[in-house]
Chain A
Amino acid sequence: MAKDSKLILDPLTDNNPITIQVLGICSALAITAELEASIVMSISVLFVMGVGNVVISLMRNIIPSKIRIIVQLIVVATLVIIVDQVLKAYAYELSKTLGAFVGLIITNCIIMGRFEAFALGNGPWRSFLDGIGNALGYAVILIIVGFFRELLGSGTLLGIQILGDPVAKTGLYAFGYENNGFMLLSPMALIVVGIIIWIQRSRNRALIED
């Protein structure tokens, strides 16, 4: 039982897929200018990882190892099509914002990485936990980055004005605060993740690379 909980808790901190394993970075950076997009992306990955890991784990004994990559790609692509169609049906505006990045979940290396490293060698229940754990680790970073970028960049969270109204100059804006539009541009996503890595590694010195 303790081993099972480790599967979920490890990826959240010391074995985080983004900051330690260096996987799944593309989508993590591109859609984090808004917190809402980050959350939806996290939920989509959570679904694809959880279900995909179980499916691959169930099929692990019948997949010939030579064509395993294409089998894995087909499984992921099918799940991503489901996510994409659901988003288009129920959250059309959001699916426009995410654009091609929903499709890029297919090539999200976390998913392939976990299939290769875990689901091909473990049973369905443990694979499911591993998938959920890693997707949550991914979600944590996405939400932190999305939080800071939206708050500092447009002064809102989930579209709600937090720092006051920039047009009517209330709240913080009354003291001369300006939105830092630079946070919305792509380079800042990289720098924010860099800073997260910096903080994480100064807190846990065992993770430092040489």
Chain B
Amino acid sequence: MEHIELFFKSIFIDNMVFATFLGMCSYLAVSKKVTTAVGLGAAVIFVLAITVPLNWLLDQYILQPGALTWLGAEYADYDLSFLSFIMFIATIATMVQLVEIIVEKFSPSLYNSLGIFLPLIAVNCAILGGSLFMQSREIATLGLATTYGVGSGIGWFLAILAIAAIREKIRYSDVPPPLRGLGITFIITGLMAIGFMSFGGMLTGGDEAEKPKENTAQIETVKDNSTTKEIANNTKVIN
């Protein structure tokens, strides 16, 4: 159950493109045609499914405060978490390189059709973002980390597929010239993001108490709390 919940949550509610804006550069650059979009999307799912669990292991057994206890009791208070960026990016770059070599060996046609997009995945923020969010959301087990990686990859895939399909059709419509290309793509993405926000109630059955946790929402709630606190203080004073 936990797996299913996390899976759908990472596809729809915390969708990488629409909720956290990860991987926007390649999302905008590679979404002109459906076929290339599908190729890149599949590669992103694959790389995320490998790197997120790998980085989870790294985080759990090397980087977290106290993670080195398996080496011996004297290592218990080591905290290497400041190294996480460099370790994560090294894992990702290595895995991307490996994937590139494997794909080139076993499927040269796929390799040629992906072209320069494969190495570009190393600098796709969706991939690093997947690992960083895995760390900050404190995902509990290796299995859940894999689910999270696959789920967010599928979410990204869906987003780029949808925008590529829309952009193929929008060529025939009468967009104001200054808005053509990039401008309209931004605005369509914004509208799609509004649509995806409605998935927020999917897992909670519309229960307001459990809103999806994202950055902006958090900022908002913090502010709300402070104002309600002020009001509460004021009423106390009046009483």
Contacts and interface: CB of A to CB of B under 8 A. Distances in A.
- Please indicate whether A and B come from the same complex rather than being unrelated chains: yes
Contacts, number: 164
Interface in B86-105: 86, 88-90, 93, 97
A193 B182 CA distance: 10
Nearest to B196: A187
Contacts of A171: none
Given A69-B122, A77-B85, A107-B127, A30 B21 contact: yes
A187 B193 contact: yes
Interface string A14-50: 0000010011111101110110000000000000000
B190 A70 contact: no
A209 B190 contact: no
B182 A106 contact: no
Interface stretch (A4-12, A96-104, A122-130): A96-104
A188 interface: yes
A137 B118 CA distance: 28
B187 A186 contact: no
B110 interface: no
B184 A194 contact: yes
A26 B194 CA distance: 17
B214 A69 contact: no
A195 B219 CA distance: 24
B132 to A, nearest CB: 4
Interface residues of A, number: 57
Interface stretch (B46-54, B67-75, B140-148, B173-181): B173-181
Interface residues of B, number: 60
A190 interface: yes
A193 B18 CA distance: 14
B21 A189 contact: yes
A25 B21 contact: yes
B86 A81 contact: yes
A194 B183 contact: yes
A22 B136 CA distance: 28
Contact of A81 (B85, B181, B216): B85
B22 interface: yes
Given A104-B128, A190-B189, A181 B220 contact: yes
Given A23-B25, A104-B129, A190-B21, 17 more contacts: A25-B25, A26-B23, A26-B125, A33-B215, A69-B93, A85-B82, A104-B125, A187-B18, A187-B197, A188-B190, A190-B187, A194-B184, A198-B179, A198-B183, A201-B179, A201-B183, A209-B182
17 contacts: A26-B23, A33-B219, A70-B97, A77-B86, A81-B85, A85-B82, A99-B215, A100-B136, A106-B89, A112-B123, A181-B220, A184-B216, A188-B190, A189-B21, A191-B191, A205-B178, A209-B180
Interface of B: 18-25, 28-29, 82-86, 88-90, 93, 97, 119, 122-125, 127-129, 132-133, 135-136, 176-187, 189-191, 193-194, 197, 214-217, 219-220, 223, 227, 230-231
